[in-house]
Structure 1
Amino acid sequence: MSKNDIKIINGHIITPYRVIKNGELFIRNGKIEAVCEGKADMEDAQIIDANGHYIAPGFIDIHVHGGGGSDFMDGSTDAFVQVAETHARYGTTAMLPTILTSTKAEIIRSLALYDQVVASTVRGSRFLGVHIEGPYFSMQQRGAQDPRYIRDPDPAEYFEILESSPSIKRWSVAPEKEGALPFGQLLRERGILPSIAHSDALYNDVVHAFENGYSLVTHLYSAMSGVTRRNAFRYGGIIESAYLIDEMDVEIIADGRHLPPELLKLVYKIKGADRTALITDAMRAAAMPEGRSILGSATNGMDVLVEDGVAKLPDRSAFAGSTATADRLVRTITEVADIPLIDAVRMMTATPARILGVDSYMGSLVPGNDADIVIFDQGVNIMMTLIKGRIVYDRDERTSTDITKEKITI
């Protein structure tokens, strides 16, 4: 037996397509070695007793700005660490740090800080690359994006940004903007995911965007066009396009505030769990008390008001990012939208992993995958979070080293 051999017993294991009741999961050297119905033949492994709780893949958040009082645009490596540690407490084992519409210099600075952080060991959620949200957006659909910095795609600018860091994995753009289609092609050529966001595009615009690489819709329903009339004729917008294009993926902020239960049900009914990813879109006020806060950089961001479980612009004219954590997303759609737990978990794990192209090693509890695991109770309250087999959060404040001392019962 290796000192890194761990067996999780007495739990209900959530796989992408079924729940194994009273199953056992074996971890060796940070990887999942076996998932068993009944007893696993690894009696010498150190034991974590799940005590009848659910054992699921770690949650993957592909759109998150901050949490715990920090934002990825704060200009410090400490902010990255604070966000990672905060969200790990709520079951997120991997995330795509997201930076907002801002100046070219600030975007490049944030990318440089990310590259500096990933070169070191961070205790908390794993970073999967950077998502740039903006600045090539529609002014009419800007939402809480700072209008001072919204502009058209500029090859001189975006080539400089692209060359500044190898860590860009996703870029959200309004595809109707001049130059957006060749920009989408360029992103695809470089292995970067182009996503439709903060856009007033019509159906034909979206079809052309899809043909040029835009395969994901950023926070469906938020800051985008629906059915509209122009010269008395009706046209479908981004929302209808996302439903009509079967291969288009969508993400939703399932915090119970951005979308009501009926829209959560509609997205699930039409797009299904395999094409819908849950995202927090969390800003710095996630896991913090309500009150005044800042969206984006602490020194150059926008003032917002956090109340009713969501961030709003001070005049309450629009939402300004969410304060959700991943456990709240899963809990919300199961409780208010009647979505089965197994599908809710898939929307927080396997689906975002596929969208990002990391499903070969994370997002599901299968042998060979990284042992990114979350254990939660019937109410989706997080009991324990493990990343590559190492405990990064435990409700009772135990650590990985405690496993070697005695059996852990959750």
Structure 2
Amino acid sequence: MSRNQRWDFVRNKNLCYCCLEEHTVRSCRSKRDALLHSYQATEEAGNATTGSRRPPAVLFHGGESSKALFRYIKVQLYGRNCYINTFALVDEGAACTLIEKDLADELGLDGPEKELCLRWTGEISQTEPASKLVNLQISAANQGATRYDLKGVRTVAHLDLPIQSLGEKLIKSRSDLKSIPMPTYRNAKARLIIGLDNIKTRENAIVGVPLEGRELEGDDFVAVRCRLGWSAYGRQCSGEASRPRILHVCECNNGDRLHDLDEAMRNHFALESLGVTVANKPLRSKEDERAACIMEAKTTFDPEAKRWQTGLLWRYDKMILPNSYPMALGRLRCLEAKMAKDPALSQFLMESMKSYQEKGYTRQLVREEIVSNSNSWYLPIFTVTNPNKKKTRMVWDAAAEVNGLSLNHALLKGPDILVSLMGVLIRFR
């Protein structure tokens, strides 16, 4: 029947528009029956309201299923000065062990705070900014049971685990559970999740792994025993229905988050550097090119002396230098006069020259090597004392001039092959 035909039928039979019973509409508190709705009108109204936006998709697992029980175990948790009986969920799909913050406070547990990111299936994540790293002990619920250490347990505000019950009626109805001391509970809610990091304790004791089990053929319900006691989990065949639930807990790795940040920065730099290329050969002046050629041609390594040596960076191939001997001789006499007045200065210069000769930096020329020509230059020396460090050093004065010309004027500075500090600061992000 079409919508109009259904409306005609209701009017002719004098039925209620809400519940389709024979009474007046005013006395009925039910909503209008869905059979009288206009789906086309509803869709058109929705499209007119939202415009061209696509409605959000809602995922729902429908249908009835047998009731599922998670692996709850009744345990005792030990803090500093007290112990508390509660329930724990053994979850081999969880990467870390979690405890509710209120329970940790009741036990008097404390530890350093560290942000925790929890991720479930479907990339659903939750951040716990005030999570603490605590240590505690756990044992079976009975008195005098062996205690086991749980290390690196993380606190969370709320676990919100499902409430479930395991009654005597179910245990007595199953032959596999009658002969074992299976504890019963009603409306229990776990406040602790034991993950993979504490499945095996530091004492090499396997806490949550089953040591033995009981089951029936053709059934999805099992009972297992671990060091914390017996527990039953699976799907019951009692006919009770519950909404399916998927539970998975894992801890995000901070390295992955840093990797994502690193990838984002790399992508940003890649976009920012589009069309920007670095020259393979930096631009140089003619003087720097000449100096570079001289260094490449005359720089050699002396294997016997185990040192490098290079030639002077002459500004031109043929240099005509003035006679610098009189200038150097006058400077030497002035220095000798200072040495005569200052014995400490005299001793410093004598020891410095002797050290240079021992290291092979300088040598005394023989008479045949003393030739004065246009390429000869005599370097005067002087001393400088740093008042802050109170240290004296000897200086070879290449800036001494003769007729307005010095050795520095005849030599090239050479290219700057160091990394530019200004460039480093500009490129720093």
TM-score tier after normalising by the smaller chain length: under 0.3
Q: Which has the higher contact order (CA 8 A, sep 6+)?
A: 1
Structure ranking higher in strand proportion: 1
Q: What TM-score do the two structures reach when normalised by structure 1?
A: 0.17
